[in-house]
């Protein structure tokens, strides 16, 4: 048997449950499934004429660059080939210069020998007769000739050996140059087939619809200027090549606590939601390990990029898919602008993401923002593009749940932020119950009643008040007037930072749980809740 809903004064049906009747306050209604925002369309038919023209121009540039091997990393192979050719030319030049040097040395030695002979002849004339001097000169010349005959073969052999060695080195260098050229050609073939970004092939002629979605992100980041978008894409690819090399040669690091950055659920449009909890760095030991010096900041940056890569892998780059993240950054307990290392790290992350992950964050919601944030923001806001700035949403502590609710359904918002989502929850699922809401006007009281039509029934409920600051109590009122009312939860004042309430009650007899919310403030309050019930008879079935 289905649930009967006791309604009145415009009360709408709430979620079905077994063997239980539920009554809620007049004016309660199921929460409408409103949309929060939509990404700009990635479908070709939805683009303006100028946007389609820019996309066609960028497609042509990318196609040409990939086919001709000029997109990003072929420069390395080309440089290797060029370097080998330069070595060959350098060897030839050195050989010529060496030969000239040897000829010059030989000429100088010959001239020096001639001078010595002439000097010896002049001295001889003074001491001996002309004939004796002539004989001595002849002897000197004969000795010189004999020495030259002995030295000549050795010199020739030495030169031949050096020439042979040079020829071998030239051949090896030429072979290296040829291998480098072959490697460059082979690399071009590989890149033509495989070059991709975020798992999406970039070669337009492959016909993958996701290619246009990725290219549109770069175009939007550069106001649909195809040339600027192309250069941004090239720089991103080069950065990823260098970064991947750094990541593979760096040791793993676990200095950043688990939970500092994680995906948790989706927003109203299906975008994965990434929560960043900067409060984990309030612990001095954690702060020093992650951000205390240059090496620590480098590890932190590698960790944050690695997390971003894993999150991007969850996106759907098909036209109409959820191709960006909703990012929530919790500043509660964060080190703040007074810590220089923290400022530098945040600036690095912001710059790196803006330059290399364009349009991958649909909204960036900052929550629990302290007053000091406004001074902090002036440090990096000037370096953000206007488009990036427009994606920021700021929420003070009293407006956290209300702000998140604009983008994320209440059942997907974690309880720590005033929502109804609990890790590892086995009690409620999306199919269990719809979310209903009640508005409590200023200086007034509203009640929510969950009725059990038979005994031995367990009632369970989740309830949150946006902004709280209300008085709250729970009671079980039996249907039998002779039975006593049972206090389920004593009345108490609920502060602004309260988490959602989850409670349950096993009714031993027919009756109802009455939840009372008293609003003594000057503004209205919104109560959001869901419930389920299970009777003993339903368990047996």
Distance CA(393)–CA(366), nearest Å, equals 6
pLDDT score of 232 more than 80: yes
Report DSSP state, residue 410.
Answer: G
Tell me what pLDDT residue 176 has: 61
Residue 458 has pLDDT above 90, yes or no: yes
Q: What is the 3-state secondary structure (H, E, C) of 2-55?
A: CCCEECCCCCCCCCCCCCEEEECCCCCEECCCCCCCCCCCCCHHHCCHHHHHHH
The secondary element (H helix, E strand) that includes residue 478 is strand 470-478
Alpha helices by DSSP H, listed for 68-129, are 74-127
Q: Which two tokens stand for residue 12?
A: 């709408």
Nearest Cα neighbor of 467 from 528, 530, 407 is 528
Give 318's pLDDT tier (boundaries 50, 70, 90).
Answer: very high
- pLDDT higher at 316 or 183: 316
Mean pLDDT of 414-420: 95
CA neighbours within 13 Å on the CB side: how many for 441?
4
Q: Say what the pLDDT of residue 386 is.
A: 86
Query: Tell me: the pLDDT tens digits for 111-168?
Result: 555 555 455 555 455 554 555 555 655 655 666 555 555 555 555 556 666 666 666 6
Burial class (CB in 10 A: 0-12, 13-18, 19+), 225: middle
Q: What tokens appear for 540 in the block?
A: 């047996």
Bridge partners, 266 (sequence order): 272
d(CA 354, CA 27): 46
Rounded Cα gap, residues 445 and 383, in angstroms: 49
Instruction: Find where tokens 């368990």 sit.
Output: 539
Question: Which pLDDT belongs to residue 482?
Answer: 93
Which pLDDT value is given to residue 193?
56
Structure confidence by residue, pLDDT tens digits, 12-70: 333 333 333 445 544 566 655 554 556 788 998 999 999 999 999 999 999 999 998 88
- Alpha-carbon gap, residue 78 to 173, rounded angstroms: 15
Q: Is 10 exposed, middle or buried (0-12, 13-18, 19+ CB in 10 A)?
A: exposed
- Which of 406, 241, 260 shows the shortest CA–CA distance to 334? 260
Closest CA to 76 of 248, 238, 310: 238
Q: Which pLDDT tens digit goes with each residue over 163-204? A: 666 666 666 666 665 665 555 454 444 444 579 999 999 999
Q: Is the pLDDT assigned to residue 212 strictly greater than 70? A: yes
Q: Average model confidence (pLDDT) for the chain? A: 79
Could you say which DSSP state residue 320 is in? T
Whether 315 has a pLDDT exceeding 90, the answer reads yes
**Residue 5: is its pLDDT beyond 70?**
no
DSSP assignment of 485-511:
PEEEEEEEEEPTTPPPEEEEEEESSSE
Distance CA 152, CA 154 (A): 6
Distance CA 237, CA 71 (A): 8
CA distance 173 to 168: 9
- Residue 403's pLDDT band (cuts 50, 70, 90): very high
* Separation between Cα atoms, residue 328 and residue 455, nearest integer Å: 44
pLDDT score at 2: 32
For residue 189, the surrounding DSSP H or E stretch is: helix 130-194
Mean pLDDT within 288-309 = 86
Residue-level pLDDT at 187? 45
For 265, list phi and psi in degrees, rounded to 5: 80, -165
């Amino acid at each position: 048997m289905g649930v009967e809903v006791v309604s009145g004064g415009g009360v709408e049906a709430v979620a079905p449950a077994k063997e239980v009747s539920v009554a809620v306050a007049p004016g309660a209604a199921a929460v409408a499934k409103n949309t929060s925002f939509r990404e700009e369309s990635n479908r070709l038919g939805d683009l303006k004429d100028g946007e389609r023209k820019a996309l066609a121009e960028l497609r042509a540039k990318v196609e040409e660059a990939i086919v001709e091997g000029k997109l990003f990393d072929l420069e390395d192979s080309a440089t290797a080939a060029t370097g080998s050719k330069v070595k060959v030319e350098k060897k030839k030049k050195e050989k010529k210069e060496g030969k000239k040097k040897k000829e010059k040395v030989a000429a100088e030695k010959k001239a020096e020998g001639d001078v010595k002979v002439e000097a010896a002849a002049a001295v001889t004339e003074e001491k001996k007769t002309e004939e004796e001097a002539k004989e001595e000169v002849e002897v000197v010349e004969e000795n010189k000739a004999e020495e030259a005959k002995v030295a000549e073969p050795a010199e020739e052999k030495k030169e031949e050996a050096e020439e042979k060695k040079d020829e071998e080195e030239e051949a090896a260098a030429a072979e290296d140059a040829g291998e480098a050229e072959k490697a460059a050609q082979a690399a071009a073939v590989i890149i033509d087939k495989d070059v991709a970004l975020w798992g999406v092939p970039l070669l337009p002629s492959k016909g993958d619809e996701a290619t246009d979605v990725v290219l549109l992100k770069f175009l939007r980041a550069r106001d649909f200027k195809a040339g600027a978008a192309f250069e941004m894409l090239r720089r991103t690819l080069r950065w990823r090549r260098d970064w991947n090399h750094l990541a593979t040669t760096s040791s793993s690091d676990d200095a950043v606590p688990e939970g500092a950055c994680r995906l948790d659920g989706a927003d109203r449009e299906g975008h994965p939601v990434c929560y960043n909890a900067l409060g984990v760095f309030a612990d001095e030991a954690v702060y020093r390990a992650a951000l205390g010096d240059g090496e620590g900041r480098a590890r932190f940056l590698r960790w944050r990029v690695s997390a971003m890569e894993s999150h991007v892998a969850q996106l759907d780059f098909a036209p109409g898919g959820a191709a960006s993240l909703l990012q929530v950054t919790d500043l509660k307990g964060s080190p703040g602008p007074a810590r220089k290392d923290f400022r530098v790290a945040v600036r690095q992350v912001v710059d790196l993401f803006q330059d290399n992950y364009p349009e991958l964050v649909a909204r960036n919601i900052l929550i629990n923002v302290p007053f000091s944030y406004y001074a902090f923001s002036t440090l990096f806001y000037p370096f953000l593009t206007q488009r990036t700035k427009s994606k920021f949403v700021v929420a003070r502590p009293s407006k956290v749940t209300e702000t998140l609710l604009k983008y994320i359904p209440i059942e997907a918002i974690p309880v720590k932020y005033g929502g109804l989502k609990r890790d590892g929850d086995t009690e409620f699922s999306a199919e269990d119950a719809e979310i209903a809401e009640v508005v409590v006007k200023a200086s007034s009281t509203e009640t929510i009643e969950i009725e059990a039509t038979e005994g031995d029934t367990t009632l369970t409920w989740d309830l949150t008040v946006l902004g709280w600051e209300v008085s709250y109590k729970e009671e079980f009122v039996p249907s039998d007037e002779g039975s006593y009312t049972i206090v389920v939860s004593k009345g108490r004042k609920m502060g602004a930072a309260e988490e959602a309430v989850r409670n349950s009650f096993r009714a031993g007899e027919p009756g109802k749980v009455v939840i009372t919310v008293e609003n003594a403030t000057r503004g209205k309050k919104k109560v959001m809740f869901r419930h389920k019930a299970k009777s003993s008879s339903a368990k047996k079935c």
